[in-house]
């Protein structure tokens, strides 16, 4: 790696901290078997008397939970516990006989039956016809009225409520970012007869020594939790992130984990290593290649969450071509981010991955473009 370019990367992140855009970051670049750059910059707790950032700071990683849950799913597939072609309704009864919202010839909303059932693969690649319930449209209002995403409800209760609602579109017809991985968490609990937190610990977290990763932060570790600004420095809007200091009934497979750079780098090292890291093999090389291949093909993407030039695999966005996208990268690169301000990408061709953790939601989109450019400048 180019040391001058890595120094520039360090300087650009400091500029964002000094300008007041982000309170602090932990950033890591890994290549050919180990970290080549690992820095903690700025403040872990912003404001007067706040604590400085540390490498072992704990971050709410939100949707970077999804790849870990996806790996656990494929591990159960390898064990013969479920099939990707299994209908979701085989495990979650409320997903049987689903209906889809549609517009009739008179323009009035109506419901029609699904042409095929949503499958486990649909949940993994966000083609199950679900949404996130963002915005103020009728479906978002229905999601909120049904308590979708309430932390007081269990995974089973969320799945029961969500499955009973009309789908946004026919399963398999479009990619749309959604609550699908939350539903997948509920499905795994049924398939494995085990709560999601215990399942993830047994299959992934304990074997990889990811001891700081979980759905809540124990009291002894509260002093390592990274915090955001009280208000977004650009919009002035209040910033409210998950309260992870106490356990909640909802174990969100789509966005509930807290982790550290050290822990998450072990997961990414396993993925980069084709399912093996530190003498531990959790999945086969072919399974990892299958997960990180594009599973959309000609299926269109709805919305702007999935960047131009990317398809989607089983838990990861997957780069399709060297060009088209507005950020540096290469075909076969894969990654994802978390709404709280965390992101990663893995490049098997370069034997590289990069991780950036911050608690600055308003800066995520910019960093998703900026950080890969700075990292690849050092290659």
**Is 144 in the same domain as 199?**
no
Angle at 240 between CA 235 and CA 242, to 5 degrees: 150
Q: Report if residue 336 sits inside a domain.
A: yes
Greatest Cα pair distance, the chain, in angstroms, is 64
pTM for the model: 0.96
Query: How far apart (Å, rounded) are the C-alpha atoms in residues 116 and 98?
Result: 9
Helix (H, G, I), strand (E, B) or coil at 23: coil
**Is 103 in the same domain as 232?**
no
Query: How far apart (Å, rounded) are the C-alpha atoms in residues 62 and 72?
Result: 17
**Residue of 59, 76, 60 lying closest to 120 (CA atoms):** 76
Q: Report if residue 28 sits inside a domain.
A: yes
CATH number at residue 58: 3.40.710.10
**Is 28 in the same domain as 41?**
yes
Q: Could you confirm whether 63 is annotated as catalytic?
A: yes
Q: How many domains does one find in the chain?
A: 2
Catalytic residue among 63, 94, 252, 337: 63
CATH number at residue 172: 1.20.58
Distance of CA 223 to the CA centre of its chain: 25
The per-residue pLDDT string of the chain (379 residues; one tens digit each, 9 = 90 and over) reads 999 999 999 999 999 999 999 999 999 999 999 999 999 999 999 998 889 999 999 999 999 999 999 999 999 999 999 999 999 999 999 999 999 988 666 667 789 999 999 999 999 999 999 999 887 788 889 899 999 989 999 999 999 999 999 999 999 999 999 999 999 999 999 999 999 999 999 999 999 999 999 999 999 999 999 999 999 999 999 999 999 999 999 999 999 999 999 999 999 999 999 999 999 999 999 999 999 999 999 999 999 999 999 999 999 999 999 999 999 999 999 999 999 999 999 999 999 999 999 999 999 999 999 999 999 999 9
**Is 88 in the same domain as 30?**
no
Q: Report if residue 79 sits inside a domain.
A: no
Final residue before a domain boundary, out of 175, 192, 209: 192
Q: Report if residue 95 sits inside a domain.
A: yes
**Is 68 in the same domain as 111?**
no
Q: Report if residue 77 sits inside a domain.
A: no
Helix (H, G, I), strand (E, B) or coil at 173: coil
Q: What is the pLDDT of residue 89?
A: 98
Distance of CA 171 to the CA centre of its chain: 21
**Is 102 in the same domain as 62?**
no
> Which position has the token pair 């799913």?
73
Q: How far is CA 101 from CA 41, 62, 110, 160, 168, in A?
A: 48, 29, 6, 18, 6
**Is 201 in the same domain as 222?**
yes
Question: Half-sphere exposure of residue 202, counting CA atoms within 13 Å on the CB side?
Answer: 12
**Is 186 in the same domain as 141?**
yes
**Is 133 in the same domain as 174?**
yes
Q: Report if residue 183 sits inside a domain.
A: yes
Q: How would you classify the pairing of strands 258-259 and 59-60?
A: antiparallel
Task: Say if residues 295 and 276 touch (Cβ distance below 8 Å).
Answer: no
**Is 51 in the same domain as 117?**
no
Percent of the chain with pLDDT over 70: 98
Q: How many CB atoms lie within 10 A of CB 202?
A: 13
Distance of CA 312 to the CA centre of its chain: 12
Structural domain including 109 reads: 84-192
Q: What is the DSSP string of 254-303?
A: TT--EE-HHHHHHHHHHHHTTSEETTEE-S-HHHHHHHTS---TTPPBPS
**Is 163 in the same domain as 258?**
no
Here the tokens at position 373 are 């450019």
């Amino acid at each position: 790696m180019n040391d001058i370019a890595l120094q520039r990367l360090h300087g650009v992140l400091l500029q964002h901290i000094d300008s007041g855009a982000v309170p602090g970051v932990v950033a890591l670049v890994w290549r050919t078997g180990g970290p080549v750059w690992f820095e903690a910059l700025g403040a872990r707790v912003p404001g007067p008397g706040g604590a400085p950032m540390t490498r072992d700071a704990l971050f709410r990683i939100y949707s970077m939970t999804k790849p870990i849950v996806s790996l656990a799913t494929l591990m159960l597939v390898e064990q013969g516990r479920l099939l990707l072609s299994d209908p979701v309704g085989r495990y979650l009864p409320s997903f049987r006989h689903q209906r889809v919202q549609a517009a009739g010839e008179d323009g009035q909303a109506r419901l029609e039956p699904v042409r095929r059932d949503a499958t486990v693969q649909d949940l993994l690649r966000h083609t199950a016809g679900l949404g996130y319930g963002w915005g103020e449209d009728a479906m978002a209002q229905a999601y909120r009225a049904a308590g979708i995403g309430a932390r007081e409800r269990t995974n089973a209760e969320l799945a029961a409520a969500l499955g009973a609602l009309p789908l946004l579109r026919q399963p398999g017809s479009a990619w749309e970012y959604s609550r699908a991985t939350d539903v997948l968490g509920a499905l795994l609990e049924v398939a494995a007869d085990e709560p999601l937190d215990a399942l993830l610990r047994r299959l992934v977290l304990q074997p990889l020594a990811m001891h700081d990763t979980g759905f809540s932060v124990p009291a002894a570790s509260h002093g390592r939790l990274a915090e955001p600004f009280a208000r977004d420095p650009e919009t002035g809007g209040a910033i409210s992130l998950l309260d992870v200091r106490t356990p909640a009934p909802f174990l969100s497979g789509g966005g509930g984990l807290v982790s550290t750079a050290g822990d998450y780098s072990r997961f990414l090292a396993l993925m980069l290593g084709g399912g093996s890291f530190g003498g531990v093999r959790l999945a086969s090389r072919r399974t990892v290649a299958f997960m990180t291949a594009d599973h959309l093909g000609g299926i269109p993407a709805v919305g702007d969450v999935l960047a131009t030039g990317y398809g989607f695999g089983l838990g990861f966005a997957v780069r399709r071509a060297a060009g088209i996208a507005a950020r540096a990268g290469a075909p076969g690169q894969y990654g994802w981010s978390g709404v709280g301000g965390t992101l990663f990408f893995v490049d098997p061709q370069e034997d590289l991955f990069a991780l950036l953790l911050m608690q600055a939601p308003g800066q995520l989109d910019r960093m998703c473009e900026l950080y890969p450019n700075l990292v690849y400048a050092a290659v």
